[in-house]
Amino acid sequence: MAIRPRGPGRGRNTLPSFVAAVMMHSLLIAGMWFAVQWRTSTEAPAVAELWEPLPSLEPPAPPPEPPPPAPPQPEAAHPEADIVQQQQVRPHAAEQPSPPPLERRPIEKHEPKKTEPKKVEHKPTAAQIERELRETEQRRQAEIARITGQVAGSAHAPSASAGVIDDAYRALIKACVLRNVRFAVPEGVTDQVYAEFQVELLPTGEQAAGSPRLTKPSGLPGWDDAAERAIILCDPFPRRPDGTAPRSISLTMRPAEAR
């Protein structure tokens, strides 16, 4: 049955109901309004104004100038006896502790008003060389393990990995020999000075009879003997990761680096 809305104003007095309707609608709208307001209104956040300035960030105090040069270990005490017994070198019972870094300063030709800036060159000490070689050795070993894993699993053996293995092996040899090189390098020796030795190895890594053999003397007095002793003392020679050792090795022994 269709319901047709009754036209307005017909029938009994509709004013009270109209007013009621308006009131109800108004109440409804007002309620909606407040509800919406309540949800969307944002209170301004509480703001605390800082009247005191923040402490300024000063640069840290410059480090104090080290006394030039940094004095090394104190002298060993010596008895007040005859002048003959006075001289003592710093500890000579054990291996000399690493000496302080030797600071070599260039001399500028112009008249300086202040002292020259100092270039500090650290000559590697025995302990440092050992440490560095050990670290290199460890890194190489890790590298070898990774690559040999790869090589075993891959069809192609890239030549680069063979080079890496050889380099790592060389580092082992260097560490083994270098630690026994005992020689006081005179000043002024360049990296052009070197001795060459032929080393023959048995499969065990031990040196064959007649090894090492001096194939090119350096001309620097004392060096060839010191180098030969160091090679002899590397006994046995390290072997490659696969357990083999090269039959012969040519060692170039150089006392000094390029300056």
Partner 1 sequence: MIVLKTANSGPYNPPAMPKTRARPTRVTSLVVLLGLAAALASRHAPAQMTVEITGVGSQQYPIAVAAFKTDGAVPQDISEIVRADLARSGQFRMVDPGSTAVAEDDSVDLPQWRSRGADTLAVGSVSHLADGRFDIRYRLYDSVRNTRIDGESYVAPVAELRLAAHRIADRIYEKLTGDKGVFATRIAYVVELGHAAYELKIADADGANPQTALRSREPIISPVWSPDGTMLAYVSFELHKPVVYVHTLANGARRAVANYRGSNSAPAFSPDGKNLAVVLTKDGNSEIYLIGIDGSNPRRMTSNDAIDTEPFFSADGAWIYFTSDRGGSPQIYRMPAAGGDAQRITFNGDYNISPRVSPDGRLLAYVSRRNDLFQIEVLDIALNQELTVTDTVRDESPSFAPNGRLLLYATEVGGREILALASTDGRARARITGPNGDIREPSWGPLLK
Q: Which of residues 218-237 bind partner 1 (CB under 8 A)?
A: 219-223, 225-226, 228-230, 232-233
Beta bridge partners of residue 121, listed in sequence order: none
Query: Interface residues for partner 1 in 194-223 (CB under 8 A)?
Result: 196, 198, 214-217, 219-223
Angle at which helix 126-153 crosses helix 159-178, to 10 degrees, equals: 150
> Residue 48 CB, nearest distance to partner 1 (Å)?
53
> Residues 43, 52, 111, 242: which binds partner 1 (CB under 8 A)?
111
Of the pair 144, 230, the CB lying nearest partner 1 is at: 230
By the rule CB under 8 A, 185 interacts with partner 1: yes
Size of the site for partner 1 (CB under 8 A): 90
- Phi then psi for residue 217, to 5 deg, are -70, 150
Residue 219: name the closest of 248, 250, 253, 247 by CA: 253
> Residues 147, 165, 168, 249: which binds partner 1 (CB under 8 A)?
249
Q: Encode 125-137: b = buried (16+ Cβ within 10 Å), e = exposed.
A: bbeeeeeebeebb
> Residue 140 CB, nearest distance to partner 1 (Å)?
14
Of the pair 183, 202, the CB lying nearest partner 1 is at: 183
Q: Encode 10-29: b = buried (16+ Cβ within 10 Å), e = exposed.
A: eeeeeeeeeeeeeeeeeeee
188: left (phi over 0), alpha (psi -120 to 50) or beta: left
Residue 115: name the closest of 65, 168, 170, 45 by CA: 65
By the rule CB under 8 A, 31 interacts with partner 1: no
By the rule CB under 8 A, 82 interacts with partner 1: yes
By the rule CB under 8 A, 105 interacts with partner 1: yes
The residue to which tokens 């300024």 are assigned: 56
Inter-residue contact 199 to 249 (CB < 8 Å): yes
Query: Interface residues for partner 1 in 58-77 (CB under 8 A)?
Result: 67-69, 71-72, 75
> Residues 137, 143, 164, 179: which binds partner 1 (CB under 8 A)?
179
Query: Interface residues for partner 1 in 157-176 (CB under 8 A)?
Result: 166, 170, 173-174
| R_g (Cα) of the chain, nearest Å | 43
> Residues 19, 20, 34, 78: which binds partner 1 (CB under 8 A)?
78
Neighbours of 9 (CB within 10 A): 9
> Residues 93, 152, 155, 209: which binds partner 1 (CB under 8 A)?
93
